[in-house]
Structure 1
Amino acid sequence: MIIKHNPKDLFPPYRNYSHAIEVRDNSRLLIISGLNGYLSDGQTMPESFEEQGELIWQHIGTILRSAEMDYQDVISIRTYLSDPSFDEANVRLRMKYMKTHQPASTVICCTLLETKWKLEVEVMAAK
């Protein structure tokens, strides 16, 4: 069982997320490592933020399906952006794949391991 915690005495969540997610009972927990926008050869990566982001979210979908889950089972997203200017595009991508689903979410702006990486995304899902 998945329970959202958005207490009324806390500021309301904005931009499609929940303050906290609780997992109860006999649930399965899937933890997906930070993914980058590599093509299937593991070496080639598109230049643009949007193309890298689309590939990452497609990779997340592939992993979720391999665990017999889907995007609606995501309980937490941690996104690392190489530049804060990518935030709006990142929100659009997250909303495209999450639709009305509101997992816990954190966005961190930092220097990523490779300069060509525009973002890296970690996901946790439970069912």
Structure 2
Amino acid sequence: MPLIAHDPPELFPPYRGYVHAMEVAGGSRLLFISGLNAFQSDGTTMPESFEDQAQLIWSHIKTILNSAGLGIENLVSLRTYLADPAFDEANARIRAEQLGSHRVSSTVICCTLLEPTWKLEVEAVAAG
């Protein structure tokens, strides 16, 4: 499944593992992952720190990808909702650790999340 990054030279340079657009060649499966929070398997508890919540969400993403026979290399797009802009640097660092050299289209939005204990929520699209 070829992924084709589009970073036209007329636009600003991409940064932090970001790509302006990611094309998925025809004939691919698409997996849309709903916005995930950091609930543990009991569905009621979650870690308190931003870093622990982010790591758990990435674990959830990998579990869902694996259930579809996909991996991190199949991600094509991420949308991250942060409860506070102060979390941006930690979010970018953890995302880079999780993605390695793999690039995806990405948007980060700062907003009030549904529950005050949530520090972030992440949704994703994968193709395979």
User: 1:18 — aligned with what?
Assistant: 19
Q: Which runs of 4+ in 1 moved over 4 A?
A: none
- Secondary structure of the residue aligned to 1:102 is coil
Q: Distance in 1 between matches of 2:7 and 2:103?
A: 11
Unaligned runs of 5+ in 1: none
User: 1:99 — aligned with what?
Assistant: 100
- Secondary structure of the residue aligned to 2:94 is helix
User: 2:8 — aligned with what?
Assistant: 7
1:60 aligns with 2:61: yes
Q: Distance in 2 between matches of 1:69 and 1:22?
A: 17
Cα RMSD after superposing both structures: 0.6
Residue identity opposite 1:28 in structure 2: R
- Secondary structure of the residue aligned to 2:91 is helix
Q: Distance in 2 between matches of 1:26 and 1:2?
A: 12
Q: Distance in 2 between matches of 1:79 and 1:28?
A: 22
User: 2:118 — aligned with what?
Assistant: 117
C-alpha displacement of 1:124 = 0.3
User: 1:88 — aligned with what?
Assistant: 89
Q: Distance in 1 between matches of 2:56 and 2:112?
A: 20
Unaligned runs of 5+ in 2: none
Q: Distance in 2 between matches of 1:112 and 1:63?
A: 22
- Secondary structure of the residue aligned to 1:105 is strand
- Fraction of identical pairs, as percent: 61
Q: Distance in 2 between matches of 1:28 and 1:97?
A: 22
CA distances 1:65-90 after superposition (whole Å, capped 9, x unpaired): 00111011100000000000000000
